[in-house]
Structure 1
Amino acid sequence: MRILIVTAGSRGDVAPFTGLGLRLQQAGHQVALAAHQRFAALVHECGLEHRVLPGDPVELVRARTAAPSPQAARSVFAAFLDELGDGVLAAAAAGTDLVLTAFGPAPVSRLVAEGLGIPSVGVYLAPGVPTREFPPPGPPVTAHPSPADNLAAGRELLARTGSLYADVLRRLRARLGLPRAAEAPAPPDDWPICHGFSPAVVPRPADWPASVHVTGYWWPAAPPRWRPPDHLLDFLQAGPPPVFVGFGSMTPGHDRLHEIVAAAVARAGVRAVVQSGWAGLGPVGDDVLLVGDLPHEWLFPRVAAVVHHAGAGTTGAGLRAGVPAVPVPVLVDQPFWADRLHRLGVAPPPLPLDELTADTLADALRACLDEPTCRDRATALASRIRAEDGAAAVVPIVTRLERGQRT
């Protein structure tokens, strides 16, 4: 069967699907991964076909950040979604029997699959189905919501997502010859969705439909030609395990972030490997090594703790490595994962980026390094996570769809 995986966003939104795609390919399927052009090499190096989605997520975030007004920012995003809709349609029309879609592009992917008469499946990296058991990913909840509040918030999130896509979906319906719809409908209860995180991290809610699964993490496929650079190996061997600091796809919005990181590392008395990321971090110091993109699954087991923005992919990599975390969330699902890390006992309370100071970061680093229970819990949780095979759990679901059976 020809399978198309559709995802959009940063590297963390793409890398887990390389592992899932490779496992499906090993099961005998032909797999293509639709993602932005900047990730073409990553996809190809993992042995998968790449189909281009238009737009650049880095430029999108920068343009929205620089927009002079909320209305201008919405216009930038609307143009991005228009291009995305065209790209998903072109990628699927290139030859596909089944569409697997990440949460972000799901409204477009489901509609395209419907228009082409092929099945689709949600493949989500964060909880994407309303539940009474916890609030949906999004801004942190300060009060103590009731189960009814949690369910209502989850439904509201789906409604807001549908409204963002309303215009592009209307145009796609016309192109595909589908009847008009007053609004973007929520996925039906029997639409299959697989969540690529561990039930040890987020247990499957009892009120989710039977078609919704929590499979375990989908780990990125390791590019076969990657080798750690000599200067990184030398730094790791030159002293005690450093901490890792990186904020992934977060672009500059905190003018003093370089200074905060450098000062916090010095005050905490630690060595640090700092990933520049989209924010272009560049703190300097004798005990600081600046690096670019590299596989977290290789580096994280070699560090003492990880300071990160709590994106789904980075959160999973840190948990798999069994190291404590200092979560510094910014937006979207990051506050959800940051709160989850703290509740699991593997991280101190989250430090939202817009409230970050050198003192709070240094204190959080010392807290997770000096408290043995934090590392002990991280080690125990990692052993459970490593025993799971999330990608393998998706294969029989796809097989049942191939045979025309319900999931």
Structure 2
Amino acid sequence: MKVAVLALGSRGDTQPCVALAQGLAGRGHEVLVVAARRYAHLVGAGVLHVPLSVDPAAVADSPAGQAWLASGPLGFVRGFRAVVEPLAERLVAEVDAACAKADLVLAPALGALGRHLHERYGMPYRILHFQPSHPTGAFPNPLVPAATLGRLGNLASYAAVERLSWLVLGRMVNRLRARVLGLGRMRGSPFAADRRARVPVLCGVSPHVVPRPGDWPEHVRLTGYWTLPGQELDEELAAFVEEGPPPVYVGFGSMVPADPLLVAERVEEAVRLAGVRAVVQGLPVNGSAGVFPVFESEHAALFPRMAAVVHHGGAGTTAAALRAGVPGVVCPFFADQPFWGRRVAALGAGPPPLPIKRLTVGELVERLRAVPIYQEKSQYIGRLLRAENGVKNAVDLIEES
């Protein structure tokens, strides 16, 4: 079977897709991963990489992208067309060309590309979720900041997010369907259409982290995390880690604080006052004693050697920290990050979330000093996650359906 896996986001979105692709290739399937060119090194042998000329990380790092990401919910919606739409036609054309001869498409829900390709070519598709986004009364949509709205309110939050998404995307999607794919206009939300058709959903999240809601239908499955094996650490970084007590990691992925210099200063001061060493990724730190700055790192190899992980709460980084069995200090920026921060705290694997806008030296010092409280629970969760095989579970479900 020829399978196309669409990995259209940042590294945190791409790595689980590559892990899934490698699992399928290991079963003898012909697999291609459609992802940004910069992630070619992640794909590995046995899987074809079809590079996209649109680079999501470059978009996020651009001045327009940073202003967009920092603009809050309403500004995010208003800025979507200015930042994303100019690139969308090229991206959809490249995805279309890559997937035209596939027997199966695995695609994220946003943009409904799996549905559009199915309508154009007739191949089946599966929906990939990196956070539990199917409607449930158990908790609100992960993009909603509230911890709970009650059963009916929780269910309503999914409808609200989907309506807002379609309000933002609908006109653009229909223009692209006509202009690039030669398809007719969609009259209603593709999310509802997918649910009516009971399109299988694979959610790459562990039930040890988010228990499966009892009101989910059978075609929505929590498989466990899709993880890649860790690669070797850079020699200088490995030497720093080994030369003293386990350091803490501080990094916020593709998120950039409104004032990076100020956050870097606060992090360095907090590390000094807490009496810990630190590996700091992506912040303009001065490299003071006991602080090792890195541009990029292999989380799967690095996190198990840390005393704690201070991060933004992205789905992939949260999974890597939990799997490593070390406490997590989540400093969410927006989107689903507060959801993951609350989950880490609920599991006893870290303190309550510290939103990046409230990150002060004192608040961070307090959390770093409290890290030992969370070690036992973190180690327990880590053992559970390392014992499960989310890729195998997902591949089994793909082959069964």
TM-score by length of 1: 0.90
1:220 partner letter: L
1:124-139 maps to which residues of 2 (within 5 A)? 124-139=129-144
- How far, CA to CA, are the matches of 2:342 and 2:90 in structure 1? 34
Q: 1:55: which partner in 2?
A: 54
Give the CA deviation at 1:50.
Answer: 1.0
What's the counterpart of residue 365 of structure 1? 368
Q: Deviations over 1:172-219 (max 9, x none)?
A: 432444332223332224110011111010011111111000011110
- 1:92-150, Cα deviation, whole Å (9 max, x unpaired): 12x31100012434x123212221100000121111211100011114216x4110000
1:103 to 1:335, Cα distance in 2 relative to 1, 3 A: farther
The alignment partner of 1:65 has SS state of: helix
Secondary structure at 1:14 match in 2: helix
Distance 1:77-1:246 versus aligned 2 partners, 3 A rule: same
1:267 positional shift: 1.2
| 2-structure distance, mates of 1:283, 1:315 | 27
The count of aligned residue pairs is 388
2:228 is aligned with 1:220: yes
> What do the CA deviations read for 1:248-292 (whole angstroms, capped 9, x no partner)?
11124234111111111111110001112xxx4434211001123
Describe the SS at the equivalent of 1:165: helix
In structure 1, C-alpha distance between the alignment counterparts of 2:45 and 2:246, rounded to whole Å: 29
Unaligned runs of 5+ residues in structure 1 are: 402-407
Answer whether contact 1:247 1:308 (CA < 8 A) is retained: yes
Q: Kindly state the Cα deviation for residue 26 of structure 1 after the two structures are TM-superposed.
A: 0.5
> Which residue in 1 is equivalent to 2:384?
384
User: 1:8-31 CA deviation, whole Å, 9 max, x = no partner?
Assistant: 221111111221111110111111
Which position in structure 2 is the counterpart of 1:153?
157
CA distance in 2, matches of 1:83, 1:227: 36
Question: Are the aligned partners of 1:217 and 1:316 in contact in 2 as well (CA < 8 Å)?
Answer: yes
2:66 counterpart residue number: 65
Question: Does residue 39 of structure 2 align to residue 39 of structure 1?
Answer: yes
Measure how far apart 1:87 and its partner are. Answer: 2.6
- State the AA in 2 paired with 1:74: R
Q: Pairwise CA RMSD of aligned residues? A: 2.0
Q: Which residue of 1 aligns with 2:264?
A: 258
Residues 216 and 82 of structure 1, relative CA distance in 2, 3 Å threshold: same
Offset at residue 46 of structure 1 (A): 5.2
Superposed CA deviations along residues 291-342 of structure 1, whole A, max 9, x for unmatched, are 2322211111111100011111111111111100100111221111111101
Is 2:97 aligned against 1:101?
A: no
Contact residue 243 and residue 304 of structure 1 kept, 8 A: yes
Bigger drift between 116-125 and 287-296 goes to 287-296
304, 312, 322: which is aligned to 2:315? 312
1:272 aligns with 2:278: yes
Segment drifting more, 289-298 vs 50-59? 50-59
Q: 2: distance between equivalents of 1:311 and 1:160?
A: 22
Work out which of the residue numbers 289, 297, 313 in structure 1 matches 2:292. Answer: 289
Structure 1 residues 129 and 397 mapped into 2: Cα distance closer, same or farther (>3 Å)? same
Residue 202 (structure 2) aligns with? 194
- How far apart are residue 85 of structure 1 and its match? 2.3
Deviations 1:338-358 (A, max 9, x none): 111011111101011111111
Distance in structure 1 (CA, Å) of the matches to 2:122 and 2:30: 19
Aligned sequence identity (%): 39
